[in-house]
Structure 1
Amino acid sequence: MDAKHVIVISYDAFSEENWERAKTLPNMAKLIKAGAYSTKLRSVYPTLTYTVHTTIVTGVYPDKHGIFHNNPLQPFIREKEQEWFWYREAIKVPTIYDAVQQKKMSTAGLLWPVSGKSAIKYNLPEVHALPKENLGLKVLKSGNPIFGIGLELKYGRYRKGIRQPFLDDFTTLCAVDTIKRKKPNLLLLHLIELDDTKHRLGTDSREIETTLIRMDQRLGKIRRAIEEAGMQEDTVVLIVGDHGQFNVNYKVHLNNMLQEQGLITTEKGEMKWRAYLQSTGGAAYLHVKEGDKEAEKIAINTLQAAMEKEQYGIERIFSRQELDSLHVERSINTMIEAKVGYSFEDTLEERILLDLRADNIKYATHGYSPDKENYRCVFIASGPCIKNDYPLGDMEMVDIAPTIGRVLGVEMKNCDGRVLEEIFV
């Protein structure tokens, strides 16, 4: 064991484009000076939050852990009404928090994706309320109710639903409280404001600066909590960006094309499908009803024809062989990748192509291939057993779980990643 405590801060959408500014902020600068860092952390495909966070805690790619999207496939249901992969039972492999618990060490999770009903001891998981559901009740049922009620009574007044910056402020207060009172061996923390700001206003909006400063202040509160808890000499802090984002000029509703080809139909008022594109934002899975080779052929021909037309923004069509090398969910035979400036949407609309600039709409998204240019993530490991001001080169998202295990003296078996041995003193 190199340290008794690891605090993992998922800094959602923290990517290489934010590095130059973020590294000048006081708390980030202190963590970098006392640690190792990389701006070339390669994410997984597709670069969706739940898919990536599951890789972070398992050390394996999506084709093994099973969380291929934020949402299970639910054709024709609008996103706000869809179930998500909220619960630990959906993950097909062991997690780092399971391994830590088995070593009789304590774990905590604050808004960590896909951790509902998990073995995390102090757990306030990330779940969303569907229509007619009570969010507070759902969170408590999915986590540790006594722990969750305690945090809600103390800090609930600082939160305003899921609005930012209030949500991340609330989560940070919960993290500070948990560090001081519980001193967990492993704390998993998910902060979302940067991702939200990019989605709403674009990657180059003025508000990004304000968001980065607020995030640095949150890091300062967490650093002070570690000191006040007397944990400074025994704690490694990891900051992990899960994906980047790109600005979007055009949204493309590709299922309209499948509908035109008769692969999506309406029968007695009910929508039916033989082939369906499930968007990830910057890419889309082609789902085909099992055994329907004719539908698959029609769908692929339709997509190939669309790729010849610039306005639909299809950069590549990946075959299963190519998806193997990208470690994509094995049940998918075909996937399409969007060009930068385009995103794909599931919904059937009047227009296939929506020009956001014409409507003066700012928007950015992710879900693209992790190999696109200027799309790598940021990683920082800081603590007493870590080399100081040490630049790392390329690394993979699957390297994080085994590296956490190394710090805590817990072996993560059958990982696709490696321990980042070079960062240790």
Structure 2
Amino acid sequence: MFKSLSLIVALIALCSFQGINAQKRVEHVILIGVDGLGAYAFKNVKTPNIRNLMKQGSWTMQARSVLPSSSAPNWASMVMGVGPELHGYTTWGSQKPDLPSRELDEYGMFPNIYGTLRKNKPKSEIGVVYEWDGIGYLFPKKAVNYEQNCEGDSITSLTTVDYIKNKKPNFLFVHFGEVDHVGHSIGHATIEYYQSVEKLDEYIGEIINSIKMAGIADKTVIIFTADHGGINKGHGGITMEEMQIPWIISGPSIKKNHEINTSIMTFDTAATIAKLLKLPQPHNWIGKPVYDAFSNAN
């Protein structure tokens, strides 16, 4: 009886140890953001690489953007852990806070994932690769090692692949913009819009392959999401086509083939990255880690 009890205790301890180790393996987080990608699109497109991320990870098609459902407010919220009421970016192309930020960090911006990582793990490799130049106003440039504004998604993908293979970043934000361009020029829910999403899927495959080639796949978590969706040729309103966005996470310590049922706001992304990289969450963030996605939620 005592031997059996000892064996059970040992097995419990081993499982707990393995669970802790699973999270310790996460050394790299790649955040892929797609401008204008409404969650509704996934009912009408063939996206094998993105769907494989879903199969190998956790996902929801019911995450929500903040209001207004426009670019700068949501890209800022995604990395700053709060909504526009606190970080202050309130319009589509805000280049600085339209409202005074509630607090400022050592870089003169609202506390964000870039500055938090730099402060707590100063040797980290941090990068930003982006297609829309407006992203350049939404991160502290002195906190990152590398930033590149690219012309078009194909160059964005090539630049990202090269950076991952050469530098193995601890945190990288990648922004793709052409889905949004098609939404504005031709329209959401059009054949051309869906074709742009399928083309995007090819770029996601290239990034996934680069992570494997860099030899860091077993230590990397990918988060795939968007800033907003759209309706007709615009966005910024309160329809579900504009508000609902995909949110997919895949990698070590993440549940596989799991649909997330808890509510997710875009500012929960920053808190989830902080948890993955074992960073203290700034006290003023209102975002919460998406615990339902973690295989070990402690």
Match for residue 183 of structure 1 among 163, 168, 178: 168
Q: Work out which of the two has the higher radius of gyration on C-alpha atoms and give 1 or 2.
A: 1
Instruction: Give the alignment's Cα RMSD to 1 decimal.
Output: 2.1
**1:386-422 CA distances to partner (integer Å, 9 max, x unpaired)?**
1001111331111110100001111222211111111
The whole-number CA distance in structure 2 between the counterparts of 1:420 and 1:234 is 19
Secondary structure (helix, strand or coil) at the match of 1:396 reads coil
Q: Is the 8 A contact 2:225 2:248 kept in 1?
A: yes
Match for residue 27 of structure 1 among 27, 31, 49: 49
Q: How many residues are aligned here? A: 255
Structure 2 residue aligned with 1:388? 256
Structure 2 residue aligned with 1:373? 240
Structure 1 residue aligned with 2:127? 108
Structure 2 residue aligned with 1:39? 61
**1:299-318 CA distances to partner (integer Å, 9 max, x unpaired)?**
xxxxxxxxxxxxxxxxxxxx
The whole-number CA distance in structure 1 between the counterparts of 2:290 and 2:140 is 29
Structure 2 residue aligned with 1:397? 266
Equivalent residue runs for 1:262-277 within 5 Å = none
The whole-number CA distance in structure 2 between the counterparts of 1:404 and 1:203 is 30
Q: Is the 8 A contact 1:12 1:193 kept in 2?
A: yes
Q: Is the 8 A contact 1:36 1:390 kept in 2?
A: yes
> 1:365/1:384 Cα in 2 relative to 1: closer, same or farther (>3 Å)?
same
Q: Which runs of 5+ in 1 are unaligned?
A: 73-83, 126-158, 248-363
Secondary structure (helix, strand or coil) at the match of 1:397 reads coil
Percent of matched pairs sharing the same residue: 29
Match for residue 146 of structure 2 among 113, 116, 122: 122
Is residue 16 of structure 2 the alignment partner of residue 7 of structure 1? Answer: no
Q: Is the 8 A contact 1:5 1:236 kept in 2?
A: yes
1:97 aligned partner, one-letter code: Y
Q: Give me the TM-score of the superposition, normalised by structure 1.
A: 0.57
The whole-number CA distance in structure 2 between the counterparts of 1:241 and 1:110 is 15
Is residue 40 of structure 2 the alignment partner of residue 17 of structure 1? Answer: yes
The whole-number CA distance in structure 1 between the counterparts of 2:294 and 2:224 is 16
Equivalent residue runs for 1:278-317 within 5 Å = none
**1:107-141 CA distances to partner (integer Å, 9 max, x unpaired)?**
1001244236342111125xxxxxxxxxxxxxxxx
Q: Is the 8 A contact 2:114 2:140 kept in 1?
A: no
Q: Is the 8 A contact 1:37 1:391 kept in 2?
A: yes
2:81 aligned partner, one-letter code: G
Residue 25 of structure 1: how far off its partner (Å): 2.0
Higher strand share: 1
**1:326-357 CA distances to partner (integer Å, 9 max, x unpaired)?**
xxxxxxxxxxxxxxxxxxxxxxxxxxxxxxxx
Higher helix share: 2
Q: Which runs of 5+ in 2 are unaligned?
A: 1-23, 98-103
1:392 aligned partner, one-letter code: I
Q: Is the 8 A contact 1:50 1:85 kept in 2?
A: no
